A and B are shown apart, each in its own frame.
Chain A
Amino acid sequence: MTEIVVEVKSLVKQYGSLRAVDDISFDLHDGDVFAFLGPNGAGKTTTVEILECLRSLTGGSAKVFGYDVTKREDVKEIKKRIGVLPQEFSALDKLSVKENIDLIGGMYQKKLDTLEVIKLLDLEDKTKERFENLSGGLKQRVGVAAALVNDPQLVFLDEPTTGLDPKARREVWSVIHNLKRLGKTVFLTTHYMEEAQILADRIAIINKGKIAAIGSPQDLISQHGGRKTLVVRKGSKELAKTLQDKYGDTTLAQGGDVVVKVDDVKEMWQLLATLTDMKMDKEIEIQTPTIEDVFLKVVGARITEEGELK
């Protein structure tokens, strides 16, 4: 059993009449990439900032490396051990990449060599470039570099790809994969389904301050993702009828595609065997549920590109 890095129990954060975080509990294990997935205003950043000792909590408890986020002496220990990429990371415009990383590094007694971190983030050719001249993706990489300069065991990445173009987003994903490879524990917040599914070992779906579901992507999909789908391209009425009789839940879609839904992998194999026996030569496509389907199921809505519920 791996060590528990973050332990949150019945955490509550209240702003006046608004309960931003409503009695949530979860653990984060050493070496995991943990994703907090939810729309804007769900309570993701508030939770993360409580764990970063940046906000006070209203109720419950939160421990990082066993240190209590509410105790002054513990906070010092937590700050030494965590690295943070805040939401909408920014740095001093007129300073170079290296100088900005040095600035954050200068706050710690124990730190990595800045050039080593720059190399790790593949920023070597931008070492002397001023922060103001960097693209959005490069700025985020500088932010991640700054988060790693104190060689933290736990890295918080708050919405690391929001506002980035697809190419830059994939660059950041690659960085997060590298963090996982380096054995870092990563706490990621995002409203991008694909991001959470690709990067995370465990996902917590959060909405209106509450955790709606938590588990590995596979577990969440199998528990909440719904049925698997097989599509036979350009089928026929006869085929649709045959499959309906045998498996039920079969429809003939516009364009002649026959869509069959089955409950599990075993039934999918049976369906494929049936099609083989029929000497079927049509193109087929197997569609498995995604985290988006899980989210739709547990929250009852989708998230837009901007992070809003729809």
Chain B
Amino acid sequence: MIRPLVIFSAVTKNWIRSRSGLFFSIMFPVLLLLVFGAIFGGTGGTSASTLFVQNLDRNSGGTTTQLSSVFVEALNSTKTFAIKDVPADADPKVWARDNLGPLGGNIRIVTISKGFQNDLLNGTFKVQVGISYNLLNYTYHYLPLNDTVKPIYEQGLAQLQQYNETLPDARTSLTLMFDASDQSATVIKNIVISVANAFNYRIIGATSVIEFKEESVVGRSYGAVDYYVPGIIAAFIMSNGIIALTSITSEFKRRGIIKRLSITPLTKFDWIIGNVLSQTLLSLILTAIMIFVGWIVFRVQAIPDALTIILIFLGSVMFSGLGMVLGGLVKDVEAASALGNAIAFPMMFLSGTYFPMEFMPSYLQSFARFLPLTYFSEGLRYALIYKYTEGVLTNMAVVSALAVAFIILGSVVTRWKEK
């Protein structure tokens, strides 16, 4: 057991002293966590989406009507939008495009039509008359009225119906324009609709009888960053194993270092175990740093337990084994790097690491079930966040089986003797 430890010590020292190795193995994942955390965790305040509003509902003096102004204020109060006014006489599309600013962005325009206030008031009045008619009608039909009151109700109902029919059928409209490629458009549309509905109810005088409460499905309260921490850890343990180890192995092979070692009593199994141990240490260091940075910066509450550490060890073995398989198959460094990237990147994005698999089409979800990272990333999330032991053990079983398979395959394809 001494020789694998000698290899472990040497390759670990060689890696720790390599600035580029250290950067891509440790610093880069940490930077990625900070970026993801800043984007999705709301650290430093979220930036509002630009929404151009053209208010065409104006008084004779050119000023905007009271209700249309209140509606714009209601949009503003959501704190979702940075509202920019579009002049009434401008072509909104052209004006918005020219006023996006140097960094560009998506064009989203809400146009408040002319007559917004009048139509809103008329429409509201007609709705309220209708509500009064309905209330009287319910009373007439369901309350026990005596013969003296009944005719009065009947007369009132007839007059209300007649009056309501004379009122204009007024409706006002809002136009929302956006780019079809704008991925946030649906969300923005729904926010605008929600604001319009709330505005509508307020004018009618209705209040919502449905109370909305928000609760986390897990015991403790977690933020979005908590979701990313296990994902990023899993993804980089995978890329360190597949991309870095494959490149290092083929580089050592190209430079004759493996050849030199193979002339000694070292066996290829010793060599593989030494490298796997080194990758495991790297994975544990990466995990500790990620959790520490996550806790310091984002107050991430992911706490590794014994199961987590075992899973990380097995994941490192699995991906180091896969790296050894790839390193053994390819001849040169360039091919190793290309092959490593070709396998690692699709796996990174198709395994539910950075976003839930439910977002993907069903055939890709089925495909993801064949990817080793799916089980590792899911297991790690269950272990670190959900504390769902059964889920951890199920994924751990798959990871263990794959780890053994890859190590055996790696031993077979690693060439310890020239032809």
Contacts and interface: CB of A to CB of B under 8 A. Distances in A.
Interface string A86-114: 11111111110001001110111000000
Interface stretch (B2-10, B209-217, B231-239, B375-383): B2-10
Interface string B402-419: 000000000000000111
A53 B259 CA distance: 11
Interface stretch (B13-21, B30-38, B352-360): B13-21
A222 interface: no
A104 B265 CA distance: 10
A25 interface: no
A82 interface: yes
A53 B263 contact: yes
B264 interface: yes
Contact of A108 (B18, B255, B264): B264
B256 interface: yes
A61 B263 CA distance: 19
A49 to B, nearest CB: 6
A54 B259 contact: yes
Contact of A89 (B2, B260, B417): B260
Contact of A79 (B17, B256, B265): B265
Contact of A107 (B6, B11, B17): B6
A56 B417 contact: yes
Interface in A32-66: 49, 52-56
Contacts of B257: 90-92
A130 B14 CA distance: 10
B265 A90 contact: no
Contact of B14 (A79, A88, A92, A104): A92
Interface residues of B, number: 25
A272 to B, nearest CB: 52
Contacts of B6: 102-103, 106-107
A80 B265 CA distance: 7
B14 A90 contact: no
A93 B14 contact: yes
Interface in B13-55: 13-15, 17-18
B256 A86 contact: yes
A52 B261 CA distance: 12
A94 B256 contact: no
Contact of B2 (A52, A88, A106): A106
Contacts of A93: 14
A310 B14 CA distance: 43
B261 to A, nearest CB: 7
A95 B264 contact: no
Given A54-B418, A107-B3, A94 B14 contact: yes
A231 interface: no
A94 B265 CA distance: 23
Nearest to A105: B6
15 contacts: A54-B259, A54-B418, A55-B419, A79-B263, A79-B265, A80-B265, A86-B256, A86-B259, A92-B14, A94-B17, A95-B14, A95-B17, A103-B7, A103-B10, A106-B10
Given A95-B10, A103-B7, 9 more contacts: A52-B263, A79-B263, A82-B263, A84-B263, A86-B260, A94-B13, A94-B18, A103-B6, A107-B3
Interface of B: 2-3, 6-7, 10-11, 13-15, 17-18, 255-257, 259-266, 417-419
